[in-house]
A and B are shown apart, each in its own frame.
Chain A
Amino acid sequence: MLVQSIGLTLQLATLTTLILLVVGTPIAWWLARSTAWWKEAVATVVALPLVLPPTVLGFYLLLLLGPQGPGGWLAELWGGHSLAFTFQGLVIGSVLYSMPFVVQPIRNAFEAIGDRPLEVAATLRAGPFDRFFTVALPLARRGFLTGAVLGFAHTVGEFGVVLMIGGSIPGQTRVLSVAIYDYVETGDWGTAHLLAGGMLAFSFVVILTMMMLEKRIGRAGS
């Protein structure tokens, strides 16, 4: 039961982080390079989860993912009738909820590169994709590390959104943060202590590791 929750949490966080790296990178690139006047509006939408109460996000997601929303139609493709209270729904919610934590550092890193290295690469016969993969990505690697770690840790720590759209179905949606809540509610303080302490240690180690890695990359890169 406990192990199941831990496994589910890691699975959710890993999947969410991978999806966000794939989806977030082009968004971050566009936000960093575009000159469109409305790009800050897009940036604001991406950043909304930073200030929205998770329950608000969860509420709208519930509508979207439920049987009456697009999520329901999507679920019908594989015979379900709703994405709410499923693992898939949780992944979608987590991706939206953690997006600013991944997109923002990557965008900052892309912006910090400036035009020059890309112009140099162009004068050396590198086409747009070539420039992106051989110059922009390696130079922005600090931003990717920060984004990945923050996205992962933030997904592990999410609670409100999960509760709204996932409930607490063991093996499906019952992640660690929800499990702790359940244990406290049912008076199982011992297990709650164990989990809470474990999360504390995990968070500490994650952030410490990230800072040390960043420092090292920074030294190698400059």
Chain B
Amino acid sequence: MTETRPLSARFRGQVGAFDLDVAFKAPGQGVTALFGPSGCGKTTILRCVAGLRRLTDGYFALNGEVWQDNRVFRPTHRRPIGYVFQEASLFPHLSVRANLLYGHRRLTGRSGWGRGGPEAVRPDGVRFDDVVGLLGLDALLERAPSHLSGGERQRVAIGRALLSQPALLLMDEPLAALDRFSKDDILPYLERLHGALSVPVLYVSHDIAEVERLADHLVLIERGRVTAAGPLEDLQANPTLSIARMPEAGSTLPAIVDSFDAAYGLVTLALAGGRLLVPGDPETPGARRRVRIAASDVSLARSLPVDSTILNALPARILAAEPQGGIQMMVALALGTDGGGCHLLARVTRKSWDYLGLGPGQAVFAQVKGVALVRESSPL
């Protein structure tokens, strides 16, 4: 985090029962997840960014424009944001179409109260038809919000936020209020959005699976403090962080499709420092994918295992290790014989660790039992 980042935030103040004291920067593109347990202050941070909540000791700037500091406080309606709340919060008195156009109209000056102005829609801005197509809203346009399912409502809310031509999209656990089915319904749309969107997104979540599918960068928050921030892959590979202690800890790695073995239905993926064989559908060579490997699906061997059913055994070097609860070790690895590739987490027993005499710097083979293709990797 040494380079200057387009998004810079700092908020300090008493918020209910605890005091918030956070500072973080984020890149000008891609999804930055604010991740932490419920009640850690994530939503408050997002509300501060939106100007819905005012902490006197705060600073926020996007692309050099200061929205808040000691002297300036831009009210919410003068900030070029899109905000997606946990509940869709559609206007019940307006149709889906009118909901979608509520913010849009205020930019183009087609409302009695709005002003077209310096913020008027740019020719390269988000277009109505594109949003309707991207989010699959065509059949819903003339309906009333009360006649939509939970997932549909949230899609409309996302479209409504996008159409206000935000320079920054804020999403406050947009999936948390949905049931399993609605979540599965909406996640693909969010992933498509991720690829199509050119503005940065701050995405609040307490669900690591969601973060792994959607986020590029991560800001870890605990009890009102930032505990770590950086690219998702880097933070995931750090065994000392709280996310490495979660049972579902794992690594998310960018990969490129290399070839497809039709006889066995296996895709070969190239990633920095190795290759993986993954069951999957035929893929175009060169396509970018993101794979997730759970730490508990990775075991270590000192020599290349022969006579094993495990397809993937990659040379790697041990970077660091952290004992977990006395029984297990969380091990951070760098792929490649020289340890110059992507980072990977492995959860092994302390007994094996001691028995094999493992330690930082050592060359090992990482045996990967399960790999999940998460989604198209973002073109960053």
Chain A contacts to B: CB under 8 angstroms: 116-117, 119-131, 133-135, 138-139, 221-222
Candidates A117, A130, A135, A221; contact of B111 at CB < 8 Å? A130
Instruction: Assess whether B106 is in contact with A130, with CB atoms less than 8 Å apart.
Output: yes
Chain A facing B: main interface SS: helix
- Chain A residues with CB under 8 Å of B146's CB are 222
Instruction: Assess whether A222 is in contact with B75, with CB atoms less than 8 Å apart.
Output: no
Candidates B76, B87, B91, B114; contact of A123 at CB < 8 Å? B76
CA distance A128 to B76 in the complex (A): 10
Instruction: Assess whether A126 is in contact with B77, with CB atoms less than 8 Å apart.
Output: yes
CA distance A116 to B85 in the complex (A): 9
CA distance A221 to B114 in the complex (A): 24
Known contacts A129-B113, A134-B113, A222-B146: A123-B81 contact under CB 8 Å = yes
Instruction: Assess whether B89 is in contact with A116, with CB atoms less than 8 Å apart.
Output: yes
Chain B contacts to A: CB under 8 angstroms: 50-52, 75-79, 81-83, 85, 87, 89, 91-93, 102-103, 106-107, 111, 113-114, 119, 146, 160-161, 164, 170
- Chain B residues with CB under 8 Å of A123's CB are 50, 52, 76-77, 79, 81-83, 103, 161, 164, 170
Top 8 nearest A-B pairs (CB, nearest first) are A124-B103, A130-B113, A123-B83, A122-B76, A125-B106, A138-B93, A122-B77, A120-B89
- Chain B residues with CB under 8 Å of A135's CB are 91
Q: Can you identify 12 A-B contacts, CB atoms within 8 angstroms?
A: A116-B87, A120-B83, A121-B102, A123-B50, A123-B81, A123-B82, A123-B170, A125-B107, A130-B77, A130-B106, A139-B91, A222-B146
- Chain B residues with CB under 8 Å of A129's CB are 113
CB-nearest residue of chain B relative to A219? Answer: B146
Closest Cβ of chain A: how far from B246's Cβ, in Å? 31
CA distance A120 to B77 in the complex (A): 10
CB-nearest residue of chain A relative to B94? Answer: A138
Known contacts A126-B106, A135-B91: A119-B76 contact under CB 8 Å = yes
Known A130-B113, A133-B113, A139-B93; 9 more pairs at CB < 8 Å: A119-B83, A120-B89, A121-B91, A122-B75, A123-B50, A123-B170, A125-B164, A127-B77, A222-B92
CB-nearest residue of chain B relative to A116? Answer: B89
Instruction: Assess whether A120 is in contact with B92, with CB atoms less than 8 Å apart.
Output: no
Instruction: Assess whether B52 is in contact with A139, with CB atoms less than 8 Å apart.
Output: no
Interface centre among B78, B106, B119 (most CB of A within 10 A): B106
Closest Cβ of chain B: how far from A23's Cβ, in Å? 23
Closest Cβ of chain B: how far from A135's Cβ, in Å? 6
CA distance A163 to B93 in the complex (A): 44
Instruction: Assess whether A127 is in contact with B103, with CB atoms less than 8 Å apart.
Output: no
CA distance A130 to B164 in the complex (A): 15
Instruction: Assess whether B113 is in contact with A127, with CB atoms less than 8 Å apart.
Output: yes
- Chain B residues with CB under 8 Å of A221's CB are 92-93
Candidates A119, A124, A139; contact of B160 at CB < 8 Å? A124
CA distance A133 to B75 in the complex (A): 18
Known contacts A116-B89, A127-B77, A222-B92: A122-B114 contact under CB 8 Å = no
- Chain A residues with CB under 8 Å of B92's CB are 139, 221-222
CB-nearest residue of chain A relative to B157? Answer: A120
- Chain A residues with CB under 8 Å of B164's CB are 123-125
- Chain A residues with CB under 8 Å of B79's CB are 123
- Chain A residues with CB under 8 Å of B119's CB are 125
Instruction: Assess whether A125 is in contact with B77, with CB atoms less than 8 Å apart.
Output: yes
CB-nearest residue of chain B relative to A113? Answer: B92
Closest Cβ of chain B: how far from A110's Cβ, in Å? 14
CB-nearest residue of chain B relative to A120? Answer: B89
Instruction: Assess whether B91 is in contact with A130, with CB atoms less than 8 Å apart.
Output: no
- Chain B residues with CB under 8 Å of A120's CB are 83, 85, 89, 91
Instruction: Assess whether B93 is in contact with A125, with CB atoms less than 8 Å apart.
Output: no
Instruction: Assess whether B89 is in contact with A124, with CB atoms less than 8 Å apart.
Output: no
CB-nearest residue of chain B relative to A138? Answer: B93
Candidates B51, B87, B102; contact of A124 at CB < 8 Å? B102
Closest Cβ of chain B: how far from A83's Cβ, in Å? 38
